Amino acid sequence: MGNHLIVIASELFSCEQFRVLFLDKRNQLIADELQQKGTVDHTPVYPREVVKRALELSATAVILVHNHPSGDPTPSRADIQMTRQIVDVARPLGIEVHDHIIVGKAGHASLKGLRLIS
């Protein structure tokens, strides 16, 4: 998956884009979809829409991915809050959020790796 993220990031540095990788119960990729495209420093993400699409695809897990055009992959407060909202909406419906990965020119950050989500 690492190379996949690098390709996504290299195409997205001009504006923020939020993608969702939808996974089945064996963690096999069902779909990689662009959910939202934003400005240079913001992308509106609606937890309801992420979960709705996961249900439509019968996904049991998702990986959230977005880029920071600034190049700094450090998660913002808004990134953390939005991710936790998606986790809170998805979990009762049997959809696990495996991670939220933020990609920047300086590398990437994993909210799970940073222990910002469980």
**Has residue 115 been placed in a domain?**
no
Q: What is the pLDDT of residue 66?
A: 93
d(CA 50, CA 13) in angstroms, rounded, equals 22
Q: What is the pLDDT of residue 8?
A: 54
d(CA 93, CA 60) in angstroms, rounded, equals 9
d(CA 11, CA 19) in angstroms, rounded, equals 13
Is there a contact between 18 and 45 (Cβ–Cβ < 8 Å)? Answer: yes
d(CA 95, CA 78) in angstroms, rounded, equals 22
Its pTM surpasses 0.75: yes
Residues paired with residue 61 on neighbouring β-strands, in sequence order: 23, 96
pLDDT lower than 50: segments of the chain: 10
**Has residue 29 been placed in a domain?**
yes
**Has residue 116 been placed in a domain?**
no
- Residue 62, domain extent: 2-110
